[in-house]
Amino acid sequence: MMSFTHLQSLVLPLDRANVDTDAIIPKQFMKSIRRTGFGDNLFDEWRYLDRGEPGQDAAGRPRQPGFVLNQARYAGAQILLTRENFGCGSSREHAVWALRDFGIRALIAPSFADIFHGNCFKNGLLPIQLGAQTVDQLFQRLQERPGYALAVDLPTQTLRTPEGDCLHFDLDPARKHRLLNGLDDIGLTLQRAERIRAYEKLRRAAEPWLFN
Amino acid sequence: MVKVGQEVGSTATQRKFVARLSPAEALIALDSAIVGLSSHEAGRRQGEFGLNRVEQGIIHVVGPEQGATLPGMTVVAGDSHTSTHGAFGALAFGVGTSDVEHVLATQCLAMRPMRRMLVQIEGELSAGVGPKDLILHVIGRIGTAGATGHAIEFAGSVIRAMSMEGRMTVCNMAIEAGARVGLVAVDDTTIDYVKGRPYAPVAAQWEAALAYWRSLHSDAGAVFDQTVRIDAAEVRPMVTWGTSPEMVVDIDGRVPAPADEADPVKRASLVQALAYMGLEPGTALRGIAVDKVFIGSCTNARIEDLRSAAQVVKGRQVAANVRQALVVPGSGLVKAQAESEGLDRIFLAAGFEWREPGCSMCLGMNDDRLSPGERCASTSNRNFAGRQGPGGRSHLLSPAMAASAAIAGHFTDPF
């Protein structure tokens, strides 16, 4: 997994609450589990005027000019700013893959849905949770100032704004460690293979009906 | 019950705990990982029901039906509605692809303990009000992120009196309230349901299992991080009007007006939802005409759901303005059972299509879809924009309410 330490980037504002994973990547693109190539179809139904199908060349598709992903001032942004309960609904990890493939490395929202939140950490995507008022203020500032960029520093768990504010965010220490070092979850777990085997033995004795 | 919030250190669940990874995280062991369309069970006997087998169907219908889902198990699948299996006092939740991989490779998942929420429903549900109305009521009350980070235990006299199928409907939509896990304590209803199913233990193992399963309930005086109490008498037949399951009112309700919402973020969501749904503020839900009706999905495609819909439909006709009305059983066994009771003939005579088991119009991944602008009364679980087809407008409701909408041609009280 790709590690994450620092990020200085433009911010893409997606001013909607309860953005569901069906909206992040529509179901017709879920027939692949390659983990890459989903970026062109990120927010497909909001981003394009036609109906997206897998395997299309995105270059020729008519775009919805009002949608933020199609606006030049946010081109190249690697941070997505959004509202409450981002990533709700379907457990599809394709939502995270699409964000990553598009180039997003960090998300800022007042809250994230549980399954999506867990999936982020499996793919080097940092979900940053800030208070609803702080998020609201960032939306306002971003609108007022073109080229608005933020600096994320994972080791100190801080976000620096152009105004000079230093915003702290909370993060689970174990997840932070894995993200900082780009560690593979399966590899880490298998370091405890002995414990797992010992546990399995116990379990076979305690609940044999699970192993028939 | 299953002390979800105290995964590490409580006696009831120590058996699930493999190793502590950090002060906040622990490795928990998985009993069953359901992968793809077949049930591939890690650690258990391998079972697979191909498309031509009568046992084939939606995994959240088939697992319980086969006794493959058992109390006290930890179950994951790459599908958020895995919470359904919590109805059995199992710890069941949806995971992403990487977590599925992790389970298959290691038998474990690294997790933080979930916080605990108790949803207690006391009293008696009114006539015409069922499990689907109850869970929609809960979601409307606490919101689609109301239980984020929590496991919900559904309890109270209404849950105790509810069938396993009803409990599955309730737990199925815990995720629509933000909770990965929804569960119900084991009782006689659970045990009677499991007994004799193909994958359930027998003889001495059954007795040993019973002793353990009977311990899967909350301790008296258990502490929850949040408690929601609901008076069953307040629960009415529900219909969603918007693009999130929390956008729900009862059948006497009206589409809300964004102007009445003080919070600007919520107001913007209302405006977007109304535009997408093609509805005006203040419109009465009763009377909104539907183009299609879908009875099915992992929420509502079990035999009791089909019986409840058939009871409404019997001797009546689908309204002329309804272009398509589908009944899709959740498994081949549900279909066979329904046919043995003559339910298929009731639906067919009324003008419904009687389909082969599967997910059908729930998620628009096959040819059963809504066309842009089409309005659907659906017993499924998600009314997100585009969920049932690009531009499609989904209204979630119970099987009895969906059947009533099919007959009336618009939303109405359950007949």
Q: Say if residue B384 is in the same domain as residue B300.
A: yes
Tokens of B211: 């002793």
Cα–Cα distance for residue pair B135/B118, rounded to 1 Å: 14
Q: What is the pLDDT of residues B312-348, one digit of tens each?
A: 999 999 999 999 999 999 999 999 999 999 999 999 9
B289 pLDDT tier (thresholds 50, 70, 90): very high
Q: Say if residue B22 is in the same domain as residue B55.
A: yes
Q: B27 and A192: CB-CB below 8 Å?
A: yes
Identify whether B359 is part of a domain. Answer: yes
Which chain B residues are Cβ-neighbours of A209 within 8 angstroms?
Answer: 70, 200-201, 205-206, 208-209
Q: Say if residue B251 is in the same domain as residue B141.
A: no
The owner of tokens 């304590």 is B185
Distance from the Cα of A161 to chain B's closest Cα (Å) equals 23
B49 pLDDT tier (thresholds 50, 70, 90): confident
- Domain's final residue, options B213, B230, B247: B230
Element (H, E) at B132: helix B131-142
Q: Indicate the range of B18-27, B114-123, B243-252, B298-307 predicted with least confidence.
A: B18-27
Q: B144 and A91: CB-CB below 8 Å?
A: no
Which chain B residues are Cβ-neighbours of A189 within 8 angstroms?
Answer: 27, 102, 105-106, 108, 110
**Pair B362, B394: CB distance under 8 Å:** no
Nearest to B45 among A83, A193, A212 (CB): A212
Q: Which fold has domain A6-181?
A: Aconitase; domain 4 (3.20.19)
Alpha helices in B278-365 (DSSP H): 303-313, 332-340, 343-350
B22 pLDDT tier (thresholds 50, 70, 90): low
Q: A211 — contact with chain B (CB < 8 Å)?
A: yes
- Optimal mutation site among A88, A140, A171, interface B, most CBs of chain B within 10 A: A88
Q: What is the pLDDT of residues B256-281, one digit of tens each?
A: 999 999 999 899 999 999 999 999 99
Segment B291-311 shows an average pLDDT of: 98
The owner of tokens 């005409």 is B289
Segment B269-296 shows an average pLDDT of: 97
Percent residues over pLDDT 70 in chain B: 89
Q: Say if residue B291 is in the same domain as residue B360.
A: yes
Higher-scoring residue by pLDDT: B107, B195: B195
Q: What is the pLDDT of residues A99-131, one digit of tens each?
A: 999 999 999 999 999 999 999 999 999 999 999
- Optimal mutation site among A1, A189, A190, interface B, most CBs of chain B within 10 A: A189
Segment B233-256 shows an average pLDDT of: 98
Identify whether B413 is part of a domain. Answer: no
Identify whether B321 is part of a domain. Answer: yes
* Domain, as residue range, for B174: 4-230
Which chain A residues are Cβ-neighbours of B206 within 8 angstroms?
Answer: 209
CA nearest to B176 within chain A? A89
B10 pLDDT tier (thresholds 50, 70, 90): very low
Cα–Cα distance for residue pair B34/B199, rounded to 1 Å: 15
Q: B180 and A114: CB-CB below 8 Å?
A: yes
CATH of the domain at B350: 3.30.499.10
Identify whether B248 is part of a domain. Answer: yes
Nearest to A85 among B99, B105, B144 (CB): B144
Which chain B residues are Cβ-neighbours of A211 within 8 angstroms?
Answer: 43-44
Segment B58-64 shows an average pLDDT of: 94
- pLDDT value at B9 more than 70: no
Using alpha carbons, list the distances in angstroms from residue B313 to B187, B238, B346, B395: 33, 19, 7, 19
Question: Domain ranges in chain A?
Answer: 6-181, 185-212
Percent residues over pLDDT 90 in chain B: 81
Identify whether B330 is part of a domain. Answer: yes
Mean confidence (pLDDT) of chain B = 90
Q: Say if residue B99 is in the same domain as residue B206.
A: yes
pLDDT of residue B80: 95
Tokens of B21: 């990874």
pLDDT of residue B37: 33
Q: B108 and A188: CB-CB below 8 Å?
A: no
Q: Say if residue B324 is in the same domain as residue B226.
A: no
Cα–Cα distance for residue pair B181/B195, rounded to 1 Å: 24
Q: Say if residue B381 is in the same domain as residue B247.
A: yes
Q: Say if residue B179 is in the same domain as residue B94.
A: yes
Which chain B residues are Cβ-neighbours of A114 within 8 angstroms?
Answer: 148-149, 178-180
DSSP labels, A117-129: HHHHHTTT-EEEE
CA nearest to B43 within chain A? A211
Identify whether B251 is part of a domain. Answer: yes
Identify whether B213 is part of a domain. Answer: yes
Give exposure, B239-250, as e/b (b: 16+ Cβ within 10 Å).
bbbbbbbbbbbb
* Number of compact structural domains in chain B: 2
> Which residues fall within 8 angstroms of residue A125, CB to CB, at 6 or more apart?
A96, A99, A100, A104, A105, A106, A107
- pLDDT value at B14 more than 60: no
Cα–Cα distance for residue pair B72/B4, rounded to 1 Å: 11
pLDDT of residue B228: 98
pLDDT of residue B290: 98
pLDDT of residue B67: 94
Q: Say if residue B242 is in the same domain as residue B222.
A: no
Element (H, E) at B103: helix B97-106
pTM over 0.80: yes
pLDDT of residue B38: 34
Instruction: Divide the 212 residues of chain A into consecutive groups of 10 and give the mean pLDDT of each group.
Output: 92 97 93 86 96 89 96 97 97 96 98 97 96 97 96 98 97 92 90 90 89 81
Query: Shortest CA distance to B358 belongs to which of B331, B379, B327?
Result: B331
- Domain's final residue, options B205, B230, B255: B230
Q: What is the pLDDT of residues B196-217, one digit of tens each?
A: 999 999 999 999 999 999 999 9
Identify whether B223 is part of a domain. Answer: yes
Q: What is the pLDDT of residues B121-157, one digit of tens each?
A: 999 999 999 999 999 999 999 999 999 999 999 999 9
The owner of tokens 């942004």 is A77
Q: Say if residue B216 is in the same domain as residue B327.
A: no
Q: Say if residue B254 is in the same domain as residue B385.
A: yes
